[in-house]
Amino acid sequence: MPKIYLCFLWHMHQPFYKDLATGEYRLPWTRMHALKDYYGMARILEEFPAIRQTFNLVPSMMVQVEEYASGAAKDPFLEAALKPAEALTPEEQLFILRNFFMANASRMIYRYPRYGELFNAWQAQKTAHGGRGVFSPQEFRDLQVLSQVAWFDEEFQDKDPEVRALIEKGRNYTTDDQAVMGRKQREIVGMVIPEYRKLAESGQIEISTTPFYHPILPLLCDTDIASVSHPGVPLPPRFSYPMDARAQLETARAYVKQTFGVAPVGLWPSEGSVSDQVLQIAATVGFEWAATDNGVLDRTLRRPTTADVTYRPYCWAQQGRKMRMIFRDHLLSDLIGFVYSGMNAGDAAGDFLRRISDNCRPILAGGRDALVPIILDGENAWEYYDRNGRPFFRELYGRIQADSRMEAITVKDAFTRIAPEPLDHIFPGSWINANFDVWIGAEEDNKAWKLLLEARQAYDAATSLPEKNRRLALEEIYIAEGSDWNWWYGPEHHSENRVEFDQIYREHLANVYRALNLPPPPELSRPILHVEAGEVNVPPQGAITARINGTIDSYFEWLGAGLYRIDGKFGAMHGRHSPVKDVYYGSDGKAAFLRVDFTESRTDVAGTEVHIEVAGAKGPARNVNARIGPASVTVEPADCEAAMGEILELRIPLTEPEAKLRLSFWQNGLPVESVPREGALELAEAATAATW
């Protein structure tokens, strides 16, 4: 009988945060994700021996994991977490307050009551006091411990007695507790690589890799290729160093072989970025298969791809070289990455497998096996899931393992199950819109490429230096070629650490010149980034009363209302654009008024459901549900009002004036947006100005 073969490929990656000149780690995210994701994502498979998967391990991340595991990493964030709270300087206190709340509030911070208390206190006082000096030493120590424990893997939170004791203690931590927290970090990080080695040796996982420092290979070979996938895109001076692309592939393959004993045959090219030249180089280096997005397949075949086209392997061949290929199901992968975190674990797993079954039914009926490639980031999504995604995975893997129609296999095994279809070329593009616009074309991107080119040319011209200096300079160039720096340049993405990423990138380039005994250009001392606006949440300025008719009657109707504006930028994971633009909110003391401005037309948002939770201090939360139809909007319960025209307007009676509102938007049974993304919309300001 024909079968459904599921190919999960989890991409594990962080940029190289270590400054080679000082030895200091500039950001802590490799360590944090090593604590929370790298070990646990592999370890959970031991509960499901029939589930086989592929893990794509990026060398720039793994070498940092090794250094943390050995205790050699110099990390000022970890040092701040371990320093006695009484000895913290004012500058160190401010550093902790600015950095130790960088976690998902609902899933990670509020999971620990004391951590939530500290977060609320800091949020309340940072405006008045600038965040400086608002905590006692005990409060700082509690923050030092809990901000780290919150990132500990579920395996340790559930089963390790020392970690359990820290969690159960909850507050009033001591310096001994800090020491335990630090020791357990090194212990957890030290288990990462041995866990992958064990599962790879057993055959349960396949390890693939990415070029060493995660560069966009087609752009390294020739930045002008960006104009093929996006004609007319503004481009920087041409950067063309295919020898760098080859070196990044060769060193990556050598690192994985040295670390795990076997050279990888599989390649997830950084960001799924491919071109004919890249596949040629990868094949000569020794890679046998590569993966990218089905958007690239669309443009390669010059037609939209159906499940029948995506759910099969391919074999690219040119000039005597071959590369077997799979193309990820973009929608299914994104559902895991961006949507299912907002659903019950069982419902999410059921929806995912139902979609796969529906997609594969015609293929199986035709007598052919179906290969379903699910490829996504293996670390950044889980902080938005309940318990770091473990309930979801147990539901998903358990159902797959129990279903005789399905089998989860490695990518390498997929090519032995289904004969590949031939491809004589590949369209140059990435997994994002089948082009390279995230990394080139915007003013900031192009300036970054120009500075990289100038540093590379300076290296080429410096031929009379000691070999040690040249090796260091070239290594810094390879690091600067990584895709992560340009991920944060341009208009697409936002991070609280965006300024730091800009600074780190320019420091790597400055280190090239220092290694060459040349003065760094003054341009490297100036930020590449422009000042930007992010998410906006302006509280209500007074009482409002709106007429519920779906139309803005006058300028004054919503004057004084609170405004929550969606930040259109993406973060570390690139998702889908929100259907919501602005939410206005306010109260007359007796009812809450809501106005939603959408980014899409009335026709496009038809079928959208809006779930509103109204929480007060005295009674249980009240749930209001509105559904937008083609010609009208319905709302429950009956004492609420709703109207949809150019905007959506709602009136919700209140039982107490100082209510808090949380909105979620659903389409086709799936959550697509939350407002606010953290916390709640508070009507306290409006209630103060209203008469109860």
To 10 degrees, the CA torsion angle through 288, 293, 297, 300? -80
Q: Is the peptide bond prior to 466 cis by the omega test (within 30 degrees of 0)?
A: no
* Tokens standing for residue 574: 């690139």
Q: How far apart are alpha carbons 415 and 413 in whole angstroms?
A: 5
* 227 and 332 part of one domain: yes
Q: 10 Å Cβ neighbour count for 113?
A: 11
Count of the separate structural domains present in the chain: 3
Q: Which amino acid is at 617?
A: A
To 10 degrees, the CA torsion angle through 173, 176, 181, 182? 140
Q: Dmax of the chain from CA atoms?
A: 82
Q: 10 Å Cβ neighbour count for 301?
A: 14
> Would you say residue 91 lies in a domain?
no
Q: 10 Å Cβ neighbour count for 275?
A: 25
Q: What is each CA distance from 391 to 41, 188, 340, 379, 409, in whole angstroms? A: 12, 21, 12, 16, 21
Q: Strand 622-628 and strand 633-636: pairing?
A: antiparallel
Q: Which of 1, 34, 3 is nearest to 369 (CA)?
A: 3
Per-residue pLDDT, 688:
45
Q: Which amino acid is at 443?
A: E
End-to-end CA distance of the chain: 69
Domain stop point among 432, 461, 479: 432
Is residue 623 within 8 Å of 611, Cβ to Cβ?
yes
> Would you say residue 280 lies in a domain?
yes
Average pLDDT per 10 consecutive residues for the chain, totaling 692 residues: 97 94 93 96 97 98 97 96 96 93 95 96 72 81 98 96 98 98 97 98 98 98 98 97 98 98 97 98 98 97 93 97 97 94 96 98 97 96 96 98 97 96 98 94 96 98 94 97 92 80 92 93 86 71 88 78 76 62 91 91 87 84 91 92 92 88 81 78 60 36
> Would you say residue 152 lies in a domain?
no
Q: How far apart are alpha carbons 91 and 498 in whole angstroms?
A: 21
Per-residue pLDDT, 690:
41
Per-residue pLDDT, 253:
98
H or E element that contains 656? none
* Dihedral sign for Cα atoms in the order 123, 127, 132, 135: negative
Q: Which of 583, 564, 577 is nearest to 650 (CA)?
A: 583
Is residue 226 within 8 Å of 435, Cβ to Cβ?
yes
> Would you say residue 596 lies in a domain?
yes
Q: How far apart are alpha carbons 561 and 573 in whole angstroms?
A: 32
> Would you say residue 75 lies in a domain?
no
Q: What is each CA distance from 267 to 131, 290, 411, 638, 676, in whole angstroms? A: 46, 5, 10, 56, 38
pTM (two decimals): 0.83
* 556 and 481 part of one domain: no
* Dihedral sign for Cα atoms in the order 150, 154, 158, 163: negative
Q: Which of 587, 412, 482, 489 is nearest to 214 (CA)?
A: 482
Long-range contacts (CB closer than 8 Å, 24 or more residues apart) made by 73-76: 73/18, 73/25, 73/31, 74/22, 74/23, 74/24, 74/25, 75/24, 75/25, 75/28, 75/31, 76/24, 76/25
Q: How far apart are alpha carbons 157 and 149 in whole angstroms?
A: 8
Q: What is the DSSP letter of 529?
A: P
Q: How far apart are alpha carbons 680 and 136 in whole angstroms?
A: 27
* 211 and 256 part of one domain: yes
Q: Buried b / exposed e across 396-416, counting CB within 10 Å, b at 16+? A: bbeebeeeeebbbbbbbbbbe
> Would you say residue 318 lies in a domain?
yes
* 506 and 612 part of one domain: no
Specify the CATH number for the domain of residue 508: 1.20.1430
* 576 and 685 part of one domain: yes
SS3 label, residue 293: strand
Which range of residues forms the domain containing residue 261?
1-70+190-432
* 243 and 364 part of one domain: yes
Per-residue pLDDT, 152:
97
* 483 and 575 part of one domain: no
Q: Which amino acid is at 276?
A: D
Domain stop point among 432, 465, 493: 432
Q: How far apart are alpha carbons 264 and 207 in whole angstroms?
A: 6
Domain stop point among 525, 560, 577: 525
* 263 and 201 part of one domain: yes
Q: How far apart are alpha carbons 437 and 492 in whole angstroms?
A: 9
* 232 and 360 part of one domain: yes
Per-residue pLDDT, 625:
92
Q: What is the DSSP letter of 464?
A: S
* 372 and 291 part of one domain: yes
Is residue 640 within 8 Å of 630, Cβ to Cβ?
no
Q: 10 Å Cβ neighbour count for 634?
A: 12
Per-residue pLDDT, 665:
86
Specify the CATH number for the domain of residue 596: 2.60.40.10
Q: Which of 238, 178, 229, 427 is nearest to 327 (CA)?
A: 427
Specify the CATH number for the domain of residue 414: 3.20.110.20
Q: How far apart are alpha carbons 148 and 631 in whole angstroms?
A: 51
> Would you say residue 160 lies in a domain?
no
Q: Specify whether the backbone of 689 is left (phi greater than 0), alpha (psi in -120 to 50) or beta.
A: alpha
Per-residue pLDDT, 535:
64
* 332 and 400 part of one domain: yes
SS (H, E, C) 567-618: CCCECCCCCCCCCEEEEEEEECCCEEEEEEEECCCHHHHCCCEEEEEEECCC
- The number of residues in the chain equals 692
* 12 and 45 part of one domain: yes
Q: How far apart are alpha carbons 644 and 634 in whole angstroms?
A: 9
> Would you say residue 253 lies in a domain?
yes
Q: How far apart are alpha carbons 369 and 417 in whole angstroms?
A: 8
Q: How far apart are alpha carbons 329 and 593 in whole angstroms?
A: 41
